[in-house]
Chains A and B, each alone.
Chain A
Amino acid sequence: MIEPLVEAHHLTKHFGDFTAVDAIDFSVAKGEAFGFLGPNGAGKSSTMKMIGAVSPITSGTLSVLGMDPATRGADIRARIGVVPQEDNLDNELTVFENLLIYGRYFDLPRSVIKPRIDELLNFVQLEEKRDSKVDALSGGMKRRLTIARSLINEPELILLDEPTTGLDPQARHILWDRLYRLKQQGVTLIITTHYMDEAEQLCDRLVVMDKARIVAEGSPTHLIQEYSHREVLELRFPVGVQETILDRLDGLAKRLEVLPDRVLLYADDGDAVMAEVSARGLQPETVVTRRSSLEDVFLRLTGRSLIE
């Protein structure tokens, strides 16, 4: 049994009377891409700050790279990379200078940093922007630069807090591709996200967090199998009609979820259920049959959507 890279038991964080993280247990193995999925305010960022040896834990135990963040914070931080939720690049400096000063914070000699900057700019496709001021970069470029910056010390573990929040779909896909390559190189990733597609794309294993607690754990496929059914039939009825026909959907699906604007029917075969719906004389305005996703898992576990 290999010792886990990060291990937490009853990890808890209080801010005054507020409990941000409530006695959670998890462990992350070397080379794994591990996710914290949950809505805003679930306690994901607080957990990340404790793992990153920035925020002290309130109670429980936490070990990162085999060390205790309370006593060996600087040693831990020397060996991890952090991509924070909010960009905190130095806007007054150029792309190159941002990477250089960050390398200096790690006390790396310039002769080591400079060739590494060239490699990293190539990796995040920002070579042409080397001497541009950070101010002039797009949101997606800034994120990529932040990722390059987090790699300047060749970390064994990277913490990514909401890495693609606020980016357009194209920029997100570029970023996912780079993160996937890192994973291929054997770097351990810990990612927080409230996007289920991001979690499905990137994470080998994840925990679902809600209200400071972990409510489920497993691989994306495992979670979907365990907490949902294979397919979902989404029916949208004209305004005012949905309430009147709900009783006519009884017994059609393995599970029924009523949202304000549509009804979700969970089943192994969505099309078969749709045939039944038509047979009962119901005519929804729109019909979508799709595979179950982590969004459905979250809905099942908490009764709420991920993005509200």
Chain B
Amino acid sequence: MTAPALRVYEVHVRAYRRVWRGSVISTFFSPVLFLLAMGIGLGQLVDANGGSESLGAVSYLVFLAPGLLAATTMQTGAGDSAWPVMLGVKWAKTYDAALATPVRTDDLVYGHLLWVTTRLLLVAVVFTIVMAFFGAVSMPWGILAIAPAVLTGLAFAAPVLAFTAQLKNETGLTAMFRFGITPLFLFSGTFFPVSQLPDWMEPFAYLTPLWHGVVLTRSIALREPTALAWWVHASYLVGLVIVGTLLARRNLAKRLRS
């Protein structure tokens, strides 16, 4: 981490100070609404019909909450690397302004990812507090779920940054959310175990990054071992962060320093 990257981070913090109230409120309400509707509303139906057997002998709320935590950080990570980056590289060209100073494209990448990490931490902490209120996770161990959730968010933030950095217009972002993020949200084991999927679909679910994030976060929140070792999931996610960062560095330099 270089000094200019920290300056880039500082600018993100300053910009966030203007919008933090609205942001924190929506960060708080999103898990409240989801846990009320799905965790408690739908959960009662699931539990009453013996669903908890295939959920590993826990209530639907307890099963859902950590998965939803990982799915939420995915959305934050992907979202923060999408439109705000488009603003920087194309719409407002604020990245060009920064690059006229000692800041380099690599600093923009590191400063951005450091900032997204902060955002993910904030989202995960608020989410965990809400989970604790709902009794969906036991404290204090539930706090440990924050780490895999932040890692999951970063595993999306870095590759999406690389993707956005080379996009000509925002239609690519809409497509990414429609055909990438939303299907992952629905089918990566957040709302039901992937074993419930048709047999031919199951292996695909194992390949998706969100599945690894959900399984890892859930196993840590519930303090239950996973079928695969925890470090397999963690390595997969760390690998995505590294590859995503390298590609982001390359794509941003190609775009803005040609």
Q: Do A and B come from one complex?
A: yes
B228 touches A (CB below 8 Å): no
Residue of A nearest to B103 (CB): A105
CA gap between A52 and B96 in the complex, in Å: 12
Contact between chains at A93 and B96 (CB < 8 Å): no
B102 touches A (CB below 8 Å): yes
B139 touches A (CB below 8 Å): no
Residue of A nearest to B10 (CB): A104
Interface residues of A in 77-126 (CB under 8 A from B): 77-78, 82, 84, 86, 88-93, 97, 100-102, 104-107
Chain A residues near B97 (CB-CB < 8 A): 84, 88-90, 102, 149
Contact check: which of A15, A56, A91, A102 meets B101 at CB < 8 Å? Answer: A102
B58 touches A (CB below 8 Å): no
Contact between chains at A92 and B100 (CB < 8 Å): no
Residue of B nearest to A76 (CB): B102
Contact check: which of A52, A104, A153 meets B11 at CB < 8 Å? Answer: A104
- How many residue pairs link A and B with beta carbons under 8 A? The number is 70
Residue count of chain B within 8 Å CB distance of chain A: 24
CA gap between A103 and B258 in the complex, in Å: 25
Contact between chains at A77 and B15 (CB < 8 Å): no
B92 touches A (CB below 8 Å): yes
Residue count of chain A within 8 Å CB distance of chain B: 29
**What is the minimal beta-carbon distance from A232 to any residue of chain B, in angstroms?**
40
Interface residues of B in 1-41 (CB under 8 A from A): 3-4, 7-8, 10-11, 14-15, 18
CA gap between A287 and B204 in the complex, in Å: 80
Contact between chains at A105 and B257 (CB < 8 Å): no
B178 touches A (CB below 8 Å): no
Contact between chains at B101 and A77 (CB < 8 Å): yes
Contact between chains at A56 and B257 (CB < 8 Å): yes
Cβ contacts B132-155/A at 8 Å (1 or 0 each) = 000000000000000000000000
Q: List 26 A-B contacts (CB under 8 A).
A: A15-B258, A54-B96, A54-B100, A55-B258, A73-B104, A74-B102, A74-B104, A77-B100, A84-B100, A88-B92, A88-B96, A89-B92, A90-B97, A93-B14, A93-B15, A101-B11, A102-B97, A104-B7, A105-B7, A105-B8, A105-B11, A105-B101, A105-B102, A107-B4, A107-B7, A153-B101
Chain B residues engaging chain A, CB cutoff 8 angstroms: 3-4, 7-8, 10-11, 14-15, 18, 92-94, 96-104, 256-258
